[in-house]
Structure 1
């Protein structure tokens, strides 16, 4: 019984320290600023775009979640709370995932109810930290990640040359090697027959590149099987290098077993002992952006929605009825990320001959079919539901769980950008 007052006093002291930390001028939340009482909350916010969702506006998630928590603390379940409005429900699911990352997170909310100006500062600091985390990864990959695109960096070269000083305008559908990685896997044979003609048709809009046709960089082409859309998917060398760069450190990107630097890998900082599905999805959209000629982070690159691509990769894990594929894929990722675990690397691969895809317009059609049975042919159509299309535009500044298993569909618009 005596522990409750002590805990209350301890929490009150923590909250006062947090207020002082906020009043002292905590800013964007970059690594050098993650100190003091606000440090754990900034670290959690930086993890949000990497493992929960890089496209939602964290500020809105925090306001919706705190509003619902205030109501719960007051015993109020009036209509209008998260559970009664779809968009707020998604915000609250994401808010709950964020709150679980810091044991004291939920406890400080009652204090902010009486100091709304401090709550605004707190939310701004966390939102800035999330934005910085995503932009830090994008910038780091821009500086160091060009070589990751070469299958054999020791011997392969870009032809024509690509150098960091050129910026990104020479990438995307303006260069045959970046274009080949962006090319839908189902269309790779067509691309290889005449790369420059294919690239020109894409630039002129004759060939539409959308997230419905999964890009080749997601695949291990040596095991690709046209009759099994899931085989080899999410095993591409470039995707894995981007993941390693972000979560186990740049020094591990080209050689996961190599001796790593003095810094603790980002994945281990946040307690990720094996790759999370949404971390893989995050690496996929970062990889696509780096391959493209887009110069500003955005939701859409020409006809392709990065939001859709992110959702599709997450759906491969979270909505997949083929649990064996999910377990095997995550197992392969786990053994190939020694930066998260102190174990060696192993590979289990089977060679198959590629053939033609079916007539479906969406590579997710038939993706979840059992390995024992061939997928249905010619279903066609787009599998996006009305709920998938819930996107809310906002004028707010936007950029930007250990193992969260929900699939949020509420996203907020970035600017659309063209190559």
Structure 2
């Protein structure tokens, strides 16, 4: 996308000037009287507690520089430190593991809450392509929604590149530790969910297989790393295929999507996007990462009972209710490393570049129809109740055909209720009226019976004649003639 022409934005310039003057006054006040610092506030009164004074801001940056803990800091600083720390741990999972955090903060803080037509893309922002600007603004908006404290302290960060750099370094540090936790989790558990192929020549390895023996050192993990377009070639001679991969005679880059990203039995060579990322194996690891290991096998998230005391699972901690492309692509990004033979974390694997792999996956979600279909499947599997289509091993989940037992009970009761309502009932009159009406009905019935018996005696001969003549009531004339 080409960069639009901007004439210089009065709103942006005015906001920068106001922020600079406000910070200058804060510095002056602090220097003149260290015991009575002037608090710098933003307009939203709900954010006052997260803004703090300039002295607290400087203390916060100093605490962040230690990277370990906020021990010894004032309570307000500790509270803000924890919020930034949690946001830093969420950042690679919810935004991007390959995010340029410093650029995201620089662009986002400068342009936050300013209409696009008023952007002034000069100075520090002039070095970025317009597509990059749009990406960083989108990422920053997601970040500040997760971390409102940065919005409260926006004016404190404006025109302070060193402060932004300190925050970026802190967030990257916390994000790196979160990624390390996820890598360890996936490395320890990803072999538990390998699909059963039913082939004697490709046996699943033990769950604790050493990392250096994975990848193309093992047929099962090598098969999952093989581009799906080449899997049939792999299946023809798995041993030879893995040998050539180890020798470098077969190389794969991030533009070809691996087998583990697809269901076992669904692949369209003419349209490789079909069923891409709808992988039961990826799904099981996604559940283990975000909802707990129990969820990977049962499809149900772990509870917060005393038996599971400790840090809650990620989706509960973040109160996530919707699967996003970022969560899916991050899991695939980490899972691929879990399958390789690399002992230590490296997002790159030979010609397979991790950043390119992640970005390629995210590019898939630029197609609206594909995105809608894919996210509907994921949200159904993760948050749907009794709607999972596939078991972790890739086999379809078998459920009842037709109505449930409860539905049948409801149907039968409804039928009985309708039948009862169709039967006349003497419920519209009072009790005394009903008794009198019943007595009158019995008297009328007795009189009708007596009269009917008399009629039968007087007409019995006529009935016999009609019967012998074979006529009907309409044939009296014919009977008389006969």
Determine if the alignment matches structure 1 residue 294 to structure 2 residue 336.
no
Superposition pairs of residues 291-370 of structure 1, within 5 angstroms: 291-317=339-365, 319-320=366-367, 323=369, 325-338=370-383, 343-347=385-389
What SS does structure 2 have at the residue aligned with 1:301? coil
Q: Are the structure 2 counterparts of residues 122 and 150 from structure 1 closer, same or farther at C-alpha, using a change threshold of 3 Å?
A: same
In structure 2, what is the Cα distance between the partners aligned to 1:311 and 1:30?
A: 33
Aligned twin of 1:56: 99
In structure 1, what is the Cα distance between the partners aligned to 2:159 and 2:275?
A: 54
Contact 2:85 2:174 in 1 (8 A): yes
In structure 1, what is the Cα distance between the partners aligned to 2:336 and 2:189?
A: 15
Offset of residue 217 of structure 1: 0.6
CA deviations over 1:213-264 (Å, ceiling 9, x no partner): 2111111122333344233221222211221122112221222226544453
CA deviations over 1:191-227 (Å, ceiling 9, x no partner): 1111010111112222221222211111112233334
Determine if the alignment matches structure 1 residue 195 to structure 2 residue 238.
yes
> Which consecutive residues of structure 2, in runs of 5 or more, have no partner in the other structure?
1-41, 396-482
Contact 2:157 2:163 in 1 (8 A): yes
Aligned twin of 1:208: 251
Determine if the alignment matches structure 1 residue 40 to structure 2 residue 87.
no
Q: Are the structure 2 counterparts of residues 16 and 233 from structure 1 closer, same or farther at C-alpha, using a change threshold of 3 Å?
A: same
Aligned twin of 1:370: none
Q: Are the structure 2 counterparts of residues 40 and 157 from structure 1 closer, same or farther at C-alpha, using a change threshold of 3 Å?
A: farther
Aligned twin of 2:274: 231
Larger relative CO (CA 8 A, sep 6+): 1 or 2? 1
Q: Are the structure 2 counterparts of residues 30 and 264 from structure 1 closer, same or farther at C-alpha, using a change threshold of 3 Å?
A: farther
TM-score (norm 1): 0.68
In structure 2, what is the Cα distance between the partners aligned to 1:307 and 1:114?
A: 30
Contact 1:44 1:102 in 2 (8 A): yes
Contact 1:70 1:113 in 2 (8 A): no
Q: Are the structure 2 counterparts of residues 69 and 80 from structure 1 closer, same or farther at C-alpha, using a change threshold of 3 Å?
A: farther
Determine if the alignment matches structure 1 residue 270 to structure 2 residue 318.
yes
Larger Rg: 1 or 2? Answer: 2
In structure 2, what is the Cα distance between the partners aligned to 1:228 and 1:46?
A: 36
Aligned twin of 1:140: 185
CA deviations over 1:297-347 (Å, ceiling 9, x no partner): 223201212222212221222x215x1x32222111112114xx6x33331
Contact 1:162 1:170 in 2 (8 A): no
In structure 2, what is the Cα distance between the partners aligned to 1:152 and 1:195?
A: 13
Aligned twin of 1:248: 291
Contact 1:17 1:37 in 2 (8 A): no
> Which consecutive residues of structure 1, in runs of 5 or more, have no partner in the other structure?
352-419
1:13 to 45, 49, 52: 52
Q: How big is the alpha-carbon RMSD for the aligned residues of Structure 1 and Structure 2?
A: 4.0
Aligned twin of 2:216: 173
Contact 1:221 1:232 in 2 (8 A): no
In structure 2, what is the Cα distance between the partners aligned to 1:225 and 1:208?
A: 22
Offset of residue 59 of structure 1: 3.7
Contact 2:189 2:207 in 1 (8 A): no
In structure 2, what is the Cα distance between the partners aligned to 1:133 and 1:235?
A: 25
Q: Are the structure 2 counterparts of residues 226 and 71 from structure 1 closer, same or farther at C-alpha, using a change threshold of 3 Å?
A: closer
CA deviations over 1:95-154 (Å, ceiling 9, x no partner): 33312322231231322458877655444322211111111111222233331235499x
Higher helix share: 2
What SS does structure 1 have at the residue aligned with 2:123? coil
Aligned twin of 1:95: 140
What SS does structure 2 have at the residue aligned with 1:129? helix
Offset of residue 18 of structure 1: 5.5
User: Which has the larger displacement, 104-113 or 301-310?
Assistant: 104-113
In structure 1, what is the Cα distance between the partners aligned to 2:165 and 2:331?
A: 31
In structure 2, what is the Cα distance between the partners aligned to 1:227 and 1:118?
A: 51
Contact 2:291 2:301 in 1 (8 A): no
What SS does structure 1 have at the residue aligned with 2:300? coil
1:124 to 169, 173, 189: 169
In structure 2, what is the Cα distance between the partners aligned to 1:27 and 1:137?
A: 23
User: Which has the larger displacement, 291-300 or 62-71?
Assistant: 62-71
TM-score (norm 2): 0.60
Contact 1:45 1:126 in 2 (8 A): yes
Contact 2:112 2:137 in 1 (8 A): no
In structure 2, what is the Cα distance between the partners aligned to 1:36 and 1:18?
A: 12
Count of aligned positions? 338
In structure 2, what is the Cα distance between the partners aligned to 1:178 and 1:80?
A: 49
Determine if the alignment matches structure 1 residue 107 to structure 2 residue 149.
no
What SS does structure 1 have at the residue aligned with 2:80? coil
Superposition pairs of residues 22-41 of structure 1, within 5 angstroms: 22-23=61-62, 27-28=66-67, 36-41=79-84
